[in-house]
Amino acid sequence: MGTHLSIDEVALSQGELYTIVTNKKDSLVVIVAGTKADQVIEHICKIDYKKRSLVKEITLDMANSMKLISKKCFPKAIQITDRFHVQKISFGGITGN
């Protein structure tokens, strides 16, 4: 699974939302249909606690649901806000110019 993960939501075919956890080697760790925290937590917690406890860092956006998922599923990991969202706020939502 790895010690450094990323968690995000993505819209796939026909606008369906999924929550995706990847490691820093861009390997898929888990994909869950939907973004509701309780459902995502339920699925991720099926992974052995010992493995989840080895995660040191998880990168995420600033959504409260992602923070909750990270806290519940990877309790020993520090949470890092991804650069894209920090820049978006820092520049008032302006990107690309």
What are the pLDDT digits (tens) for 13-36?
888 999 999 998 879 999 999 999
Lowest mean pLDDT among 2-11, 38-47, 78-87: 78-87
pLDDT at 28: 95
More confident residue, 89 or 68: 68
Q: Which of 34-38, 42-46, 92-96 has the lowest mean pLDDT?
A: 92-96
Per domain, the residue ranges of the chain are 4-90
- Rounded CA gap, 39 and 27, in Å? 22
- pTM to 2 decimals? 0.81
Yes or no: say if 7 and 20 are a contact pair by the CB < 8 Å rule: yes
Assigned superfamily of 4-90: Ribonuclease H-like superfamily/Ribonuclease H (3.30.420.10)
